[in-house]
Amino acid sequence: MPTNKDERDYDDVPGTYVLDSRSYRQGYKLNMFLMSLNKADARAAFSENETSYMDAFGVNEEQKSAVLERRYLDMLRLGANVYYAFKLVSHDRHPPQVMYGKMSDPELTFEEFQQMMLSGGRAIEGLRSKKENGDG
């Protein structure tokens, strides 16, 4: 059970980055940028100059770096909505497994991620609670 009003039950789950009231403000400009990639003219402008395009949305330097380096898990940590982050994967014309592999710990290639899933997925041991793992 959370001990203060800013904690949530899901804060104890390793690898969980929920877009909630705490992260929404942090990721607002990043999410507006990512959602803009729904439009062809926006994708063209982003392709022409990624940094300049994000500057127009006021994306901060840490978020910008995560986007430029396609560090999807960092984007989530910095307030991105996972569904909006997927717009970037689509823009890059990659299958979803590319993003999922990059969000794994350790990071997996497309082929490694695909093989892991075909082999039954990741074991749940050690992924249920940060406190149980001594991380929280």
Residue 78: how many CB atoms within 10 A of its CB?
A: 21
Closest by Cα among 62, 67, 74, 31 to 50 = 67
- This prediction has a pTM of 0.74
Exposed/middle/buried for residue 117 (C-beta within 10 Å: 0-12, 13-18, 19+): middle
Q: Which of 4-8, 59-63, 76-80, 115-119 is predicted least confidently?
A: 4-8
Q: What pLDDT sits at residue 28?
A: 95
pLDDT, average across residues 89-99: 88
Q: How far is CA 47 from the centre of its chain?
A: 20
Highest mean pLDDT among 8-12, 90-94, 96-100: 90-94
- 33-42 residue pLDDT tens: 999 999 999 9
CATH class of 15-93: mainly alpha
Domain boundaries, the chain: 15-93, 94-130
- Taking residues 45-70, report their average pLDDT: 98
